[in-house]
Amino acid sequence: MSVYAGKYLRIDLNNRTWQEATISEEEVRQWLLGSGYAAHLFAQEMDPNLDPLAPNASLYIFNGLLVGTFAPTASRTSFCGRSPLTGIWNEANVGHHWGAELRFAGYDGLVITGAAETPIYLFINGLDGSIEFRDASHLWGKDWFEAGDAMLAETDPKGQVAGIGIAGEHLVKLAGIMVGPSHYVRGASRGGMGAILGSKKLKGIVVRGKKRPDYPDRKRFLATVKEQNKYIKENSVGMSLLGTAGGFQATEEYGDLALKNWRLGSWPKAAELTGAVLYEKYLIRHTHCFSCPIGCGKEIEVPEGPYKTPRGEGIEYETMAGFFGNVLNENMEAGILANSLCNRYGLDTISTSATIAFAMEAYEKGLLTDADTGGLALTFGDPDVVLELIRQIAFREGVGDLLAEGSRAAARKLGDGAEDFAVHAKGMEVAYHDPRGFVSMAVNYATANRGGCHLEALSYWNGYGLTLPDLGYAEVKPRLESSPEAAKMAYDFQNYFSVYNPLGLCKFIAKGKVGPERLTEIVNSALGWEWTPEDVIQMGEKLFQLKRLINNRFGVTRKDDTLPKRLLKDAKPDGSAGGNLPDLDLMLPVYYELRGWDEEGRPTPERLQALGLG
C-alpha cells in the first residue's frame, strides 16, 4: 500500500456487477485525485447530450489525494458529474469520516453507472474484500436520519455511510448526498447530486475498512503534521469555538449578508442571532472531521418547544444566512429546525433557502397566488411557512413541485419578470456572500465552474482580514472597488483553492493562514514529492481550465459569465455596502486575459498547451 490506494471501483447497477480499475502514479501527478481525477475521467467519457438523471449517466466519487492520512483536515470527498440543477459540471464536496473509511477499505473512489430496478444500497467491506448489493426496499421512503442509521445497523456500526433522504428519492434538483449517522450529518449538497442517486434507486453506500496509508518517510511526515496542526490551531481559534456561525453578525456589518431575497442592506436583528448566542444555549459538543485540528462542527439540540429539534449537526453560516436573513426569520429555534429538516430530507440549505426566498418575493409580486400555494401565504418573516415549504419541496407536494426544480427553472416557468429576482449564476443559487460587498466575488461567481459557488475563490476572506503573503496578498485589498486588481484576486484565489478538493483538504486551513508554501510542505512530506508553491498554483489553474473545457462542451460561453440583475443592477439601499455595484464590464476582460480565454470564453490552444492540456 501507499499513501493513496491506487485503484477505484466501477459499479454497474444495471447488472449489479463491479470491477476494479487502477490509477497510475503518472495519472496522480497529472490530475491528483478528488475532483481533479474525476474531471479527467469525466472529460474522457462524457456525452454532452446525456441527461444527468439518465440511467447510463455516471456519478464519479473520489477522495482527495491525502484523504485518510494524518494531513490536517485530510477528509474531503468529491461527488462529481453533470448537475441536475445547472446542467453543467458539478463537484459536491464533503468532509466527515466517510472518505477516510473508503480509503481504509482499499479504494480511492467509485464510478457508479446504470440504475437498479428496485431500491438497493451498497456495502463495501474492506475487512473481507466483499462488495454487496443489498435490498433497500424497506428503506425507500424513509428520511436520511432513519435510513442512514438503519444501513449502519444492518452492516457494521463501525462503518461510515453516505446516501439520500426523501428529496433525492423524489429527484428534487436541490437534493444533496448526506454523510454520517443522524446525530452527525454533513452534506455533499450543492448541485442536486442526491437526485442522481435517486434516479439510480441507490439509497446509500456503507464503507468499512482497515487498510491504512503507508508513507515514504513517516517520521518526516508526522513532524510536519505536528508543526502544521499547531500553527493552524493558533490561527483558527474563532472557528474552533463557534464554527462558521461565528461570523454571522460581521457579515451584516460588512454588507455581505443576503436579506429579503438580497434586497435589504442592513438588519439589526442579526446582532441577536449570533454564533455566540446559538452555542451558548444549544451546544452539546464540538465535532471534528477526520484528521481535523480545527473542529468547526457543533452538535446541538433544541430539547423542547414548538421547534423541538433532535440531537444533530449544528447550523452553519450559510444556513443561518439563508434561513434567517434571506427569509427574514427572527426565530433562532425555527432556523435550527429548518437546518435539521434539510439534513433529514437531504436538501442543500443554500439552494433551498434561496428558492424559498425567491418564492416569497414572487408571492409578494403576485406571480404566485393562493391558488398556486394551496392557501399558504408565502410571507417574509413567517418561520412556519419556511418549514412547510421545506417539506413540500422534499416531497414535491403543492408549490414545492415547482420549487424543487430550483429558482432558475421556477422563474422561467413563472415569467413576468421573475428571472430578474432569481438569484443564481449558471443555474446554481448564489452562496451567501454578497458581490456588492466584496466585488472580487462578482468575478468569481460569474466564472466559477459550478455556478454560484463561493468556495471556488473565497476571496472575500481577504476583505475580512485574511492575508496570504505567499499568494501575493500580504495586506487587505479594497473590497468595494471594481478594478483590475479585484479581477486578479478572483483569478489568484481560484487557482489556489482549485487544488484543495483534489488533495482532499478542507479550505478552512487556508483561513488558518495556510498558503501555498505551507501546503507544499504538507504535500511533499506526505508523498515524497518535490513540489514548489508555483507547482501548486499551476496545478490549480490546470484543473480549473479542465473543468472550463467540460463546461464549454456543455455550451457555456461568455454570455453565461454573468450575474443576476439583482446583484448587478440593484444596489443595496443602506448598510456598509449601500449603493455599491460590481462592474463586470471592467473586470471580466482583465480576468479573461489572465485566464488566457478568447472572446467567447474558451481557453486558447496556447494556454492549454502551456498547462499540459493540449
DSSP string, 569-605: T---SSSTTTT----HHHHHHHHHHHHTB-TTS-B-H
In this structure, are strands 109-113 and 7-12 parallel, antiparallel, or unpaired?
Answer: parallel
CA–CA separation, 132 and 110 (whole Å): 14
Half-sphere exposure (Cβ direction) of 4: Cα atoms closer than 13 Å: 30
Q: How far apart are CA 32 and CA 563, in angstroms?
A: 31
Nearest to 71 by CA among 516, 533, 508, 505: 505
428 by DSSP, 3-state: which? strand
Amino acid at 358: F
Spatial separation of the C-alpha atoms in residues 193 and 201, rounded to whole Å: 13
**Reported pTM:** 0.98
Residues belonging to the chain: 614
Taking the C-alpha atoms of residue 320 and residue 340, their distance in angstroms, rounded to an integer, is 12
DSSP assignment of 242-298 equals: HGGGGGHHHHHHTT-S--TTTT-S--GGGGGS-HHHHHHHHEEEEE--TT-SS--EE
Q: How far apart are CA 605 and CA 101, in angstroms?
A: 40
Element containing residue 91 per DSSP (H, E)? strand 89-94
Q: What is the predicted pLDDT for the residue at 168?
A: 98
Q: Are 536 and 517 in contact (CB under 8 A)?
A: no
**Rounded Cα gap, residues 266 and 434, in angstroms:** 12
- C-alpha 591/C-alpha 595 separation (Å) is 6
Cα distances (Å, whole numbers) of residue 273 to 223, 248, 320, 333, 493: 41, 8, 9, 10, 30
Q: What is the pLDDT of residues 12-70, one digit of tens each?
A: 999 999 999 999 999 999 999 999 999 999 999 999 999 999 999 999 999 999 999 99
**How distant, in Å, are the alpha carbons of 115, 240, 380, 604 from that of 328?**
41, 28, 6, 45
Give the three-class secondary structure for 134. Answer: strand
Given a cut of 80, is residue 102 above it in pLDDT? yes
CB 357 within 8 A of CB 410: no
* Side-chain half-sphere CA neighbours of 91 within 13 A: 33
Whole-number pLDDT of residue 309: 97
Report the amino acid identity of residue 194. G
The 10 Å Cβ neighbour count of residue 271 is 12
Name the phi and psi angles at 602, rounded to 5: -110, 135
What pLDDT, on the 0 to 100 scale, is given for residue 380?
A: 98
Domains, the chain, in order of start with CATH, read 7-208 (3.60.9.10), 240-422 (1.10.569.10), 434-497+532-610 (1.10.599.10)
Of 329, 326, 307, the residue nearest 318 (C-alpha): 326
DSSP 473: B
- Note the pLDDT tens digit of each residue in 134-184: 999 999 999 999 999 999 999 999 999 999 999 999 999 999 999 999 999
* 52 HSE (CA, 13 A, CB side): 26
Pairwise CA distance, residues 526 & 217, whole Å: 8
Nearest partner of 173 among 393, 338, 424, judged by Cα = 393
Residue 614: per-residue pLDDT: 80
How would you classify residue 32: left for phi > 0, otherwise alpha for psi between -120 and 50, otherwise beta?
A: left
- DSSP H helices, 128-247, are 144-154, 166-169, 193-199, 218-234, 237-242
Supply the pLDDT for residue 56. Answer: 96
pLDDT of residue 1 exceeding 70, the answer is: no
Q: What percentage of the chain reaches a pLDDT higher than 90?
A: 100
Q: What's the rounded mean pLDDT across residues 371-381?
A: 98
Q: Which three cell numbers stand for residue 305?
A: 418547544
CA distance 486 to 469: 16
> Is there a contact between 104 and 1 (Cβ–Cβ < 8 Å)?
no
3-state secondary structure of 102: helix
pLDDT at position 79 is 98
Q: Give the Å distances, CA to CA, from 508 to 233, 240, 373, 442.
A: 11, 11, 40, 21
Mean pLDDT computed over 203-229: 98
H-run or E-run covering 60: strand 59-63
Measured distance CA(468)–CA(136) in Å, rounded: 48
Q: What digits encode the pLDDT tens for the residues 391-419?
A: 999 999 999 999 999 999 999 999 999 99
Q: What sign for the dihedral angle of Cα 408, 334, 176, 276?
A: positive
Give 462-518 pLDDT, tens digit per residue: 999 999 999 999 999 999 999 999 999 999 999 999 999 999 999 999 999 999 999
CB distance 376 to 384 below 8 Å: no
Is 586's pLDDT higher than 90? yes
Q: How many angstroms separate the CA atoms of 570 and 260, rounded?
A: 13
Strand boundaries in 103-142, DSSP class E: 109-113, 120-125, 130-135
Instruction: Provide the pairing of β-strand 59-63 with 109-113.
Output: antiparallel
Burial bucket for residue 234 (CB in 10 Å: 0-12, 13-18, 19+): exposed
Q: Is-contact 80 39, C-beta < 8 A?
A: yes
